[in-house]
Amino acid sequence: MRHLLVIAAAIFTVSAHAETPRDFLTRFEKEAGAAASAERGARFFTTKQGGEWSCASCHTDKPTQAGRHAKTDKAITPLAPAANAERFTDAAKVDKWFRRNCNDTLNRVCSAQEKADVMAWLLALR
Amino acid sequence: MKPIIAAPLLVLLTTLALPAHADRYSVPKNAAFEEECASCHMAYPPQMLHADSWRAMMGDLSRHFGSDASIDEKRRVAIADFLVANSGGRKTGNTRDAQGRPLLRITETARFEKKHREISAATWKRASIKSPANCTACHTQAAAGDYDDRSIKIPK
């Protein structure tokens, strides 16, 4: 019985930490206090936002496919969850990459609305 | 063992152990280094830069060659320690620039420049190479730490 409890606790701990891409859409929409727009997300992702690069400069404008780092040429696995199950499953990673990449492409942090829009678009890609 | 046999054997073993001019780097495994650094570029062997260079670089990751490469503090310290512990010391050649600052680019070290003096500016600019920092473009086994002449294939 004690073993079962330990196993149950372990499963609960894992499931409590693992997140799904949809969880991030929900979180960002909640933070923004408004619904996301996939259409707006697509535009944001594929056009320059003040910096030298857009998101698409590395992730391509069809992120179900692999990209390449605009400077180092290193291969980047697809960003869209439909093409890569590992994407958007770890909050620490998601926050780290939004922080860095928004800084590189916008010279500022992204707003919750911008992140929600991008998530909505990425989730809609098949 | 008789001294007459031991002496050449000792020389041989010493030569094998000396990494000074080897074109193969034993790249120590480090999960944090792999995950944080090698997600944007190849995991450059720590031996290619002096400890002072790694300290300077790891001290300012939010402006890392024009990109924000900031990471959490605990990991930053751990990776910096790993790089310094495995750094190349003076073997990299010059370790500081004309202003006395530690060199941050492997491509600016004397060793790199000497080894690549026959490569023309036009070759570096090829779409298949892009930049001197893209080791794997020509050094086909660079990811495994092998920079030997035999594994070089310069793409068109």
Average of per-residue pLDDT values in chain A: 91
- Beta pairing partners, B139: B152
Report the gap between the CA of B63 and the closest CA in chain A (Å).
10
Q: Which of B66, B146, B80 is nearest to A52 (CA)?
A: B66
Q: For the residues B99-105, what does the mean pLDDT come to?
A: 94
What are the structural domains of chain A?
20-124 (1.10.760.10)
Of A72, A96, A99, the CB nearest to B40: A72
Whole-number Å distance between alpha carbons of B105 and B137: 18
Q: For the residues B18-40, what does the mean pLDDT come to?
A: 83
Residue B91 has pLDDT above 80, yes or no: no
Residue where the block lists tokens 């790694």: B54
Q: A103 and chain B: CB distance < 8 Å anywhere?
A: yes
Contact state of B67 with A100 under an 8 Å Cβ cutoff: yes
Of A69, A92, A100, the CB nearest to B70: A100
Determine the pLDDT at residue B22: 64
Report the gap between the CA of A96 and the closest CA in chain B (Å).
7
Q: What is the pLDDT of residues A54-76, one digit of tens each?
A: 999 999 999 999 999 999 999 99
Determine the pLDDT at residue B17: 47
DSSP assignment letter at A108: S
Nearest CA in chain A to B72: A96
Range with lowest mean pLDDT among A45-49, B16-20, B148-152: B16-20
Cβ atoms of residues A102 and A19 within 8 Å: no
DSSP assignment letter at B89: G
Q: Which of A92, A98, A105 is nearest to A79 (CA)?
A: A98
Average of per-residue pLDDT values in chain B: 87
Q: A93 and chain B: CB distance < 8 Å anywhere?
A: no
Range with lowest mean pLDDT among A5-9, A81-85, B9-13: B9-13
Is 0.85 exceeded by the ipTM?
no
